[in-house]
Amino acid sequence: MQDRNVYWDEVRMQNEFHQPSILAIGDSWFWYLFPGGSLLNKLGNLVETKEHYILAHGNNGAEAYDYVYGTYKRRIQTALQLHGDSLSAVFISGGGNDFAGLSDLRPLLLNDCSACTTAEACYRHGDDEQSLEWLLNKVIGSYIALIDKIIGATWNTAQNANGPTKIYLHNYDYARPTGIHLPFIESTSWLRAALVVANVPIHLQDACIRFLIDEFTVRLKGLVARYPGRVRLIDSRGTLSDNDWANELHPTPTGFEKIAQVWRPILQADGLAA
């Protein structure tokens, strides 16, 4: 997986004598390996005309916690120390793996949702562990820790002509709980399996995922308000049609391109894309 200006391997980037002007910290929407590539491939095309090089950290299956406390903490911290004062932007894709999966989504739902009449009623609420609010607060707590690290490492970029390093977040789209898995990996279980085990009525299953994405978006908007002028939110809800999904969590190449086009005017406004 290699584009002209997007690198998933820092050693290769160094060997080709490039330095990143954009750091991409993300999950499978940035690391999707199947033909046609990921969202990051499409974003790379948008910023190439402005001569930006993107370095990716994270991986498929990454959770928000992993970026600051877990698997990718050291690599991301090192990347920020090495490149922070020259970064024009940081792209972040995270949160989806925190609630997409049988072991993640199932605990958020009631033991038996068969009598529920709304999507909201299917979820556990409150401050207790495994409630929806608890999980979202955990995800946003990780985001805050990561954004604070980015701002701390890029403080000097405020002196640049384009101003301080901008941080871009996104909220995916309304995934369909179809049960469609990754090619050749039938054990993949993200959304539908959890809804079925919880006895969520069929007519509420789509609505449950929409409600989850909407609640996640509310929290992301709170981050924009917390960091005015530094954090941007790309709201891509409602962008994809059913035919634009390759499986329960990932768009087709055409779908990823549609999502990238939602990013385009925001990147253009900040001088990152033509």
75-126: pLDDT as tens digits: 999 999 999 999 999 999 999 999 998 999 999 999 999 999 999 999 999 9
Question: What is the CB neighbour count within 10 angstroms for residue 173?
Answer: 21
pLDDT band at 185 (very low <50, low <70, confident <90, very high): low
Mean pLDDT score across all residues of the chain:
94
CA atoms of 208 and 265, how far apart (whole Å): 30
- Stretch 140-152: mean pLDDT: 97
Asked if 165 and 90 touch (Cβ cutoff 8 Å), the reply is: yes
| Ramachandran region, residue 169 (left: φ > 0; alpha: ψ -120 to 50; beta: rest) | beta
Predicted confidence (pLDDT) per residue in 7-62, tens digit: 999 999 999 999 999 999 999 999 998 888 999 999 999 999 999 999 999 999 99
Share of the chain above pLDDT 90, in %: 86
